[in-house]
Amino acid sequence: MSIRDLLRGLPVFAGDLPEFDPSTAPDDPIALFVAWFEEAVTSGVSEPHAMTVATADESGAPSARVVILKDLTPEGWWFATTTTSRKGRELAVEPRAALLFHWREQGRQVRVRGTAGLASPERCAADFLHRPLESRVAGFQGRQSSPLADPAEVGRAAEENRARLIADPSLVPDDWGLYLVRPAEVEFWQGSPDRRHVRLRYLREKPEGPWERGLLWP
């Protein structure tokens, strides 16, 4: 069997999918995201806080990876990484970014486009200090996305960093960053087995401006 045949034989939108009536959606996409997120959690969606973050370098070449949502406030979506990582470096030269949540079990996607900004040093430090020990150990290595010559180096660096953090739990790396993505566009996508997917998009021209809502063809 070819990969093409295997792909065509896989089920899509299997199971009972939730209904979505866009006419009942709130005026603010943050409120709708909270409602959908709570439904995903109560429905047992696996890792609903995982999201794809897409960035681009100075030439416009894109890259994407999955990270964990750290917070959601009226301003937007928050995630953390080192400023020296690939995404951190790319955001420094091109702050526009896109987020994607995919809740497969519900046939839902949420797409966010906006501008990412670095939080204050105090807020970045607070985020780091609230992380579990092993997460702080990894965050202290400061070489994310750099070439690795010997896999054993990771273990040695981890042991050194663990010892430092146990000795002084208040340590925070200089390159730790907490980012806020302020949305300019948010789309809620509800899949349907008959492919009559429901797509509701929110748009605004200014960061503090009003939202305009509209449906999109599937």
pLDDT at 206: 87
- The verdict on pTM exceeding 0.85 is yes
Q: What is Dmax (Cα atoms) for the chain?
A: 59
| Cα 45 from Cα 28, distance rounded (Å) | 24
The tens-digit pLDDT sequence of the chain (218 residues) is 899 999 999 988 888 899 999 999 999 999 999 999 999 999 999 999 999 999 999 999 999 999 999 999 999 999 999 999 999 999 999 999 999 999 999 999 999 999 999 999 999 999 999 999 999 998 888 777 778 778 888 888 889 889 998 999 999 999 999 999 999 999 999 999 999 999 999 999 988 889 999 999 99
H helix runs in the chain, sequence order:
3-8, 29-42, 86-93, 121-129, 133-139, 152-167
Q: 114 and 181 in contact (C-beta within 8 Å)?
A: yes
pLDDT at 138: 87
pLDDT at 110: 98
pLDDT at 18: 93
pLDDT at 140: 82
**What's 27's DSSP letter?**
S
